[in-house]
Structure 1
Amino acid sequence: MTGRSGPLGPARVDAYLRRIGAERPPAADAESLRALHLRHQLAVPFENLSIHLGQDIALEESALVDKILRDGRGGFCYELNGAFAGLLRALGYEVTTLAARVFGADGELGPPYDHLALRVMPADGSGPWLADVGFGRHSHYPLRYDARGEQRDPAGVFRVEETPDGDLDILRNDAPQYRLEQRPRELRDFEATCWWQRTSPKSHFRQSLVCSRLTGTGRVTLSGRVLVLTTGEDGREQRQLGEDEVLAAYREHFGIVLDREPVVAPLP
């Protein structure tokens, strides 16, 4: 297994752009990156269904793109950002894969390679940018990688702060989200922690189901059989689905067609 495939061909790039409802950008510049970043989150859900359907997750660019294009699916950070990196490279962006550790609710950091994010340099040199379409509820647009002040986004106020060890902390509304290493990585570097995320009883991905997508007015999330629709700052509608409604909800809200309902297996 390799960490990076060759560039996506023109037909695959066109199919990927159709999948996210985007036009082929006239140039690999910052404005186009912003548009692609937003369109990806509006179209491709953050989801961990494969873990609970017994499906393999192959950290190889062509397989990740196939999952999004051929299977109409989404994925979690390794998959979404791994595939997005392939699209951006094919469009002329310089993309570096970076590893991060996610801050838990207790303020403790997760394991190494807990998260995958991207440093992107547009062809016109208007960067670098931190692109991340695989962190669930996160910034709608890329963050300026080298800016240290407040960066306002529809999802909140973000900051990129340097740590004493040379890493970068990403904060949203003053709450630390993840700690980003600056050393370039390859997809294969994330395989061990990806396996841990899929199999360990300590992994929150193993403990729960999630399928979530940004919408034009907020977000739609299906956690097991609980459907949550949010709009604006205060609008929230939550509904418990019946057994016969779950597969239809995946189709309607996420375009995901399943032949059986994913369920969380009992933890050992």
Structure 2
Amino acid sequence: MNLEEYFKRIGFHGSYDKLDFATLKSVHRQHILSVPFENLGIHCGERIVMDLEVIFNKIVRNKRGGWCLENNYLFGWVLREMGFDTTTLSSRVFNSVLNEFIPLDSHLINKIVIDGKAYIADVSFGVSSQIREPLELISGKDQPQAAGVFRVIDQGDKWVLEKTGREPHVLNPERANISLVNRNLTKMIYCFTLVPREVDHFWEVSDKLQTDPASLFTNKSILSLQTPTGFKALIGWTYSEVTYKPEEGVDVMDMREVTDDEIEQILREQFNLKLQNKLTPVSNKAWYTL
């Protein structure tokens, strides 16, 4: 495990001598543009483990993606190796169907302090909820990014991350009303506290998320990758390319259903992914939107 291999994987060619926000922002951005958010291991016979060396080999050397417990765990290691003051935090994702935060610390994020200012880094939420650069930990401050305006709000017992986005413009009329299309312009994404966590805090939840029949991740095969102008995603058999058009106040969504025979080609050409085992796509009814 070394930083040079990681930097080559994400295409980061800058200097990292300065432990400043500009460096943090550059590495964060390169990660989300290069490493997909994906849970495909669950749907092709693999077991996801919270072992840093296994994760490094998977993401860096085998050029795979990962879900938050892998990507953000690896990213925290990278930041510490670089010398950043980094703390692991846990968060609880918002379930828009139940209108509540799920009662599991299922999402791992990192807090970084630079010159006395605290930031939240998260390189692995995916789709339109993915932040492009770390967010300043200032309550209520509008922080505009490509996907919309993000805010972290201090509610006393917890902090909440929310985003105000744009109207979806679906190019394919027959896809306009499917459940993947998010119609809520402002939505909560997750909540978190500033209690430091060790990796063992996530061991049990990692197993639960990939085995529980009620888990989002056992009910949907999810793959997404950020692009300079939006993101692309393969959810079950639905392939989407989303382009942010802030000047028009819309997110343009080009969506289509693909066949099993097309899956391998899409993984290779659109996400630069090659799986060792055959993927069995899954798209059961579950709370998830682009």
TM-score (norm. length: structure 2): 0.83
Say whether the 8 Å CA contact 2:35–2:64 is kept in structure 1. yes
SS in 1 for 2:32: helix
Measured in 1, the distance between the counterparts of 2:140 and 2:254 equals 36
List per-residue Cα deviations over 1:64-107 (Å, max 9, x = no partner): 11110122111111111001111111111111110111110132
1:263 maps to amino acid: P
Instruction: Name the structure 1 match of 2:182.
Output: none
Alignment of 1:72 with 2:90, yes or no, is: no
Matched, 1:255 2:272: yes
Kindly indicate whether residue 37 of structure 2 is the aligned counterpart of residue 43 of structure 1. no
Q: Paired residue for 1:120?
A: 112
Q: Give the SS at the match of 2:270.
A: helix
Q: What is the match of residue 177 of structure 2? A: none
Per the alignment, residue 75 of structure 2 pairs with 84
> What is the aligned residue count?
254
- The correspondence for 1:192, drawn from 201, 204, 210, is 204
Match status 1:179 vs 2:191: yes
The residue number in structure 2 matching 1:158 is 150
Name the structure 2 match of 1:203: 215
Secondary structure of 2:100's match?
A: coil
In structure 1, list runs of 5 or more residues that go unmatched. 1-7
3-state SS of paired residue (2:255): strand
| Deviation at residue 266 of structure 1 after TM alignment | 8.9
Q: Which residue of 2 aligns with 1:219?
A: 231
TM-score (norm 1): 0.89
CA 176–235 in structure 1, closer or farther in 2 if over 3 Å, else same: closer
Overall identity of the aligned pairs, in %: 32
Tell me, yes or no, if the aligned pair for 2:89 and 2:108 is still in contact at 8 Å: yes
Unaligned runs of 5+ in 2: 165-185, 245-249, 286-290
1:109 to 95, 101, 112: 101
Partner of 1:234, secondary structure, is strand
1:16: which partner in 2?
6
Q: Which residue of 1 aligns with 2:167?
A: none
Bigger Cα displacement from structure 2, 139-148 vs 192-201: 139-148
- Secondary structure of 1:63's counterpart equals helix
Residues 84-136 of structure 1 deviation map (CA, whole Å, 9 limit, x = unaligned): 111111111111110111110132111231211110123xx252110001111
Q: Is the contact between residue 240 and residue 253 of structure 2 (CA under 8 Å) also seen in structure 1?
A: yes
Q: Is the 8 A contact 1:99 1:112 kept in 2?
A: no
Partners of 1:58 and 1:22 in 2: CA distance: 26
Greater fraction of residues in strand: 2
CA distance in 2: counterparts of 1:266 and 1:216, whole angstroms: 30
